[in-house]
Amino acid sequence: MANTSELAGFTIPRLGMGTMALAIEGRPDRETAIETIHAGLDAGVRYLDTAWSYYVPSVPGTGTPEDLGYGEKLVRDALATWDGPREDVLVATKTGYLRTCEAVAAENGDHAVNDETRPEHQRLQAAGSRYGWMADSRPETMIRDAKESALRLGVDALDLLYSHGPDPSVPYEDQCGALKQLLDEGVIRYAGVSRVNNEQIDIARGILGDGLIAVQNQFSPSHPDPEQTMAHCAELGLAFVCWSPLGGFLDAFDQSAYDPFRTVAAKRGCSYQRVVLAWELSRYDRLFTIPSARNPHEINDSFAAVRLGLSEEELAALPC
């Protein structure tokens, strides 16, 4: 199976780099973060995945305007200081979510999220964490934030923009309509959707047509794909991008699901994480996996998965 594929006009390795771990709670210092992105790029990463909402709120609520887009700024600055071919790197970002501190809605300038006016807004929060995620996928917000993302990343148009996830208080058709407007206006070149089921994929496809090129859903040994969204992407010719491909680091997950991978890794003399990523790449020839990393060692170990060809015997010992 090929280790490269086409996405958003780029032919790139199917192992990219998520940048969430470099931008949210527990993040390293800025110098280490940029060094980590450089290490990934030097290793061969050509897909960087970030988001409007990759930041840490400095005050309760959704933070301050200065907090917003920290992850996008890291990507911009890392690319600006890298001596490799910037034109070969696909940068994807997301819109429609904010971060929260203690899940308390608070007015934040133009980015106010008010409980009284939006009683059904979505909050996602890891157990025991002060921080969470809050959906604000009103079309006007998505469009405004996408334009600010382009400015922040220093590009004329975003290569690939995902809607970060459904918002219970916004019809999904309206979210997709915002992406369609951004496509029509040339603010984005291609669109993707995230945290979606097959029905929502079909809605997006019906509105966006060929402008929809990717679905980004959670997938790993501990978070399988019960609705078979990967298979649906294959039927439609869409890329499937898996987030938290190693289980994630904010939420607890079933560690026992990784025992078969540890067995293979012990025989191979490599990390089990590398085996997990190589297994994911074997699932679908248009699957892209985007592990996060907090230091150069982690991303170098992850990217080595593109060179780890698993045998039929090894694959037979791993989940189907």
Looking at the chain, the number of H-run helices and the number of E-run strands are 10, 13
Average pLDDT taken over every residue of the chain: 93
At 61 the three-state DSSP class reads strand
CA distances from 219 to 105, 153, 280 (A): 30, 28, 9
CA distances from 298 to 11, 224, 294, 304 (A): 24, 23, 7, 10
**Tell me, what's the pLDDT at 250?**
81
Single pTM value for the model: 0.93
d(CA 263, CA 314): 10
**Tell me, what's the pLDDT at 2?**
82
Q: What pLDDT digit, counting tens, does each position of 27-83 carry?
A: 999 999 999 999 999 999 999 999 999 999 999 989 999 999 999 999 999 999 999
Angle ∠(307,236,207) on CA atoms, nearest 5: 125
d(CA 76, CA 41): 13
Structure-token pair, residue 29: 């210092």
By C-alpha distance, which of 190, 146, 155 is closest to 10? 190
By C-alpha distance, which of 196, 177, 194, 197 is closest to 185? 177
Report yes or no: 254 and 220 within 8 Å, Cβ to Cβ: no
What is the residue whose two structure tokens read 């780099």?
A: 17
Domain residues for 273?
A: 4-316
Question: Letter for the amino acid at 133?
Answer: W
Supply the CATH number for residue 308's domain: 3.20.20.100
Q: What percent of the chain has pLDDT over 70?
A: 93
Residues with Cβ within 8 Å of 204's Cβ and at least 6 positions away in sequence, in order, are: 172, 176, 179, 191, 193, 196, 212
CA distances from 282 to 289, 303, 308 (A): 11, 15, 11
Beta-bridged to residue 125, according to DSSP, are 132
Beta-bridged to residue 242, according to DSSP, are 217, 289
pLDDT by residue for the chain (320 residues), tens only, comes to: 689 999 999 999 999 999 999 999 999 999 999 999 999 999 999 999 999 999 999 999 899 999 999 999 999 999 999 999 999 999 999 999 999 987 544 444 445 443 334 444 567 887 778 889 999 999 999 999 999 999 999 999 999 999 999 999 999 999 999 999 999 999 999 999 999 999 999 999 999 999 999 999 999 999 999 999 999 999 999 999 999 999 987 888 999 999 999 999 999 999 999 999 999 999 999 999 999 999 999 999 999 999 999 999 999 999 98
Helix 30-43 × helix 296-303 angle, to 10°: 20
Total domains in the fold of the chain: 1
By C-alpha distance, which of 193, 204, 60 is closest to 134? 60
Residue length, the chain? 320
**Tell me, what's the pLDDT at 102?**
76
Q: HSE of 238 in the Cβ direction (CA atoms, 13 Å)? A: 30
